[in-house]
């Protein structure tokens, strides 16, 4: 049996280095739970693991060879494991994780350490809303605005990144009405210095893409040069409340591609139809840049051609409403139009709405608003829409998507006892949608794609939703209609929504 090596157990507090006369013994550290610092113990170790140590030349007869130290742990050994941290993950993975966080959670993460600050602060600053529900009672909303702007404009610390890293993180900014208001002499007024500070941020935020302004009229009144020199990255401008004159907005934000008007409900604000006439040249910047207009109501001063127009509020069967919609569509001349109109408007009224926009219109998404039942929905398509197309001479539609909305039942009516007969259950039998498509194709010779969805109507069947292609037949006056799958129909609709003036 070979020699037995005895190893002294030692604690971490009092490691003892032992020196032999010839300075050639190697010390092996062993952590044990029962080690006693005052009375070291010796343990017999059976060799099972080899550790090769190369020692300096020695004066003894063993100087030319290496020593093999045989070690074994007789008790469980504590293993030091290198733990992974959150920041060692791939950046793409971290981006996905941060994308699932709210802004509040990202702010809490940023307060933990510098590494977390550099990682989470861009997420926190990417989408910011000032004023409104975010206003704290302990400080005014204008203080929130000025503190935020000063924070963005101040150079970022060196360990965070380049000096402009805070400004570069801003992607979306929403400004509520009270964010720039201060109370002076008992009267609420707009703080011009705060508006000027915000304008400076808009000029230097090179990655800001979407800007929402509530009550923009007050901003321009307090600081007429608001927005001048704003970042060319601002592509979406959302306007609510009292909107500033459109020429001032076009001058301040000339690179906007998407204009969105929000608020107002069913009431059209006075500025949208009763404002003084606008010089066409004052909106020249938007003539080249604006691609999409999304609004609840017609904005008559906005005489800017747009590739796509979305009118969210239904057009009612009223002379003034039809006139405003007609003029607005004639001035914007959309290629793609999404709108809703009363399901009981006459073909003449619907034709009048489309008449001025017909030469440029290629794809139409039309909703028949408040349709009583599926029979009325069928009549709406065949007797109103198809007849209206025949009344518009320059119509060159390539595709159309038709759907209906049911009649809204108030909560009070739901509480009243029902005296009539119960509704007939839905059936799986479909109506003659092919016949409706043929009627549409006959009234619009350029039509190539039709989507019909009558399923929301009362009493409709589960199958009254379909997509069709329309083909020309050589040596025949009739047109060939083929039903296609939902997947193919959805793909065609998506393609037509992307139409431009060259399609």
DSSP bridge partners of 403? 367, 453
Q: How far apart are CA 502 and CA 335, in angstroms?
A: 10
Q: Which two tokens stand for residue 161?
A: 């990144």
Count each helix (H run) and each strand (E run) in the chain, helices first. Answer: 17, 19
Q: How confident is the model at residue 5 (pLDDT cuts 50, 70, 90)?
A: very low
Q: Which two tokens stand for residue 325?
A: 């919609």
Nearest to 174 by CA among 57, 115, 85, 260: 260
Is the pLDDT assigned to residue 246 strictly greater than 60? yes
Q: How confident is the model at residue 76 (pLDDT cuts 50, 70, 90)?
A: low
Q: Higher pLDDT residue, 96 or 54?
A: 96
**What pLDDT, on the 0 to 100 scale, is given for residue 71?**
40
**What pLDDT, on the 0 to 100 scale, is given for residue 8?**
40
Q: How confident is the model at residue 112 (pLDDT cuts 50, 70, 90)?
A: confident
Q: How far apart are CA 154 and CA 163, in angstroms?
A: 8
Inter-residue contact 481 to 468 (CB < 8 Å): yes
**What pLDDT, on the 0 to 100 scale, is given for residue 473?**
78
**Which segments within 113-209 are labelled E, that is strand?**
127-130, 172-175, 181-184, 187-190
Per-residue b/e over 281-309, b at no fewer than 16 CB within 10 Å? ebbebbeebbebbbbbbbbbbbbbbbbbb
Q: Higher pLDDT residue, 407 or 242?
A: 242
Q: Which residue's entry shows tokens 């977390």?
A: 116
Inter-residue contact 212 to 240 (CB < 8 Å): yes
* Helix axes of 114-126 and 103-110: crossing angle, nearest 10 degrees: 160
Per-residue b/e over 361-389, b at no fewer than 16 CB within 10 Å? bbbbbbbbbbbbbbebbbbbbbebbbbbb
Quick: pLDDT tens for 169-202. 999 999 998 899 888 888 888 999 999 999 999 9
Q: How confident is the model at residue 267 (pLDDT cuts 50, 70, 90)?
A: low
**What pLDDT, on the 0 to 100 scale, is given for residue 83?**
60
Quick: pLDDT tens for 403-426. 999 876 544 444 444 444 444 444
Q: Tell me the range of 10-24, 258-272, 439-453 where mean pLDDT is highest.
A: 439-453
Burial degree of 191 (CB within 10 A; 0-12, 13-18, 19+): buried
Quick: pLDDT tens for 28-45. 334 434 444 444 444 444
Q: Range with the lowest mean pLDDT among 245-249, 348-352, 413-417?
A: 413-417
């Amino acid at each position: 049996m070979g020699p037995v090596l005895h190893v002294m157990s030692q604690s971490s507090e009092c490691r003892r280095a032992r020196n032999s006369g010839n300075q050639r013994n190697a010390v092996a550290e062993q952590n044990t739970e029962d080690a006693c610092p005052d009375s070291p113990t010796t343990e017999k170790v059976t060799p099972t693991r080899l550790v090769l140590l190369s020692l300096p030349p020695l004066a003894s007869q063993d100087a030319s060879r290496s020593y093999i130290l045989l070690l074994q742990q007789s008790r469980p050994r504590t293993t030091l494991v290198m733990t992974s941290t959150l920041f060692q993950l791939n950046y793409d993975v971290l981006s996905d994780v941060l994308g699932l966080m709210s802004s509040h959670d990202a702010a809490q993460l940023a307060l933990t350490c510098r590494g977390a600050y550099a990682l989470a602060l861009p997420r926190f600053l990417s989408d910011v809303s000032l004023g409104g529900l975010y206003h704290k009672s302990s400080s005014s909303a204008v203080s929130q605005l000025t503190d935020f702007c000063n924070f963005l404009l101040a150079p970022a610390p060196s360990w965070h990144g380049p000096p402009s890293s805070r400004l570069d993180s801003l992607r979306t900014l929403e400004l509520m009405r009270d964010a720039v208001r201060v109370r002076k002499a008992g009267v609420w007024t707009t703080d011009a210095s705060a508006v000027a500070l915000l304008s400076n941020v808009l000029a230097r935020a090179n990655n800001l893409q979407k800007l929402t302004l509530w009550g923009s009229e007050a901003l321009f009144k307090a600081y007429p040069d608001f927005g001048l020199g704003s970042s060319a990255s601002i592509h979406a401008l959302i306007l609510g409340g009292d909107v500033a004159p459109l020429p001032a907005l076009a001058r301040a934000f000339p690179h906007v591609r998407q204009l969105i008007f929000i608020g107002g409900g069913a009431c059209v604000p006075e500025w949208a139809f009763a404002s003084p006439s606008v010089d066409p040249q004052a909106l020249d910047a938007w003539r080249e840049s604006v691609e999409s207009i999304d609004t609840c109501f017609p904005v008559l001063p906005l005489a800017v051609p747009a590739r796509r127009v979305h009118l969210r509020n239904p057009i009612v069967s009223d002379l003034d409403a039809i006139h405003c919609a007609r003029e607005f569509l004639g001035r914007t001349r959309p290629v793609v139009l999404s709108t809703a109109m009363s399901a009981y408007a006459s073909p003449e009224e619907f034709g009048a709405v489309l008449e001025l926009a017909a030469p440029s219109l290629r794809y139409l998404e039309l909703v028949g608003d408040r349709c009583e039942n599926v029979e009325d929905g069928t009549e709406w398509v065949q007797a109103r829409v198809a007849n209206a197309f025949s009344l518009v001479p320059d119509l060159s539609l390539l595709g159309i998507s038709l759907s209906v909305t049911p009649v809204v039942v108030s909560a009070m009516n739901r509480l009243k006892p029902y005296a009539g007969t119960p509704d007939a259950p839905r059936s799986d039998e479909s109506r003659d949608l092919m016949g409706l498509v043929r009627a549409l194709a006959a009234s619009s010779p350029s039509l190539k794609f039709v989507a019909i969805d009558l399923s929301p109507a009362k009493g409709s069947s589960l199958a009254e939703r379909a997509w069709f292609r329309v083909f020309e037949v050589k040596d025949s006056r009739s047109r060939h209609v083929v039903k296609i799958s939902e997947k193919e129909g959805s793909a065609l609709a998506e393609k037509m929504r992307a139409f431009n003036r060259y399609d």
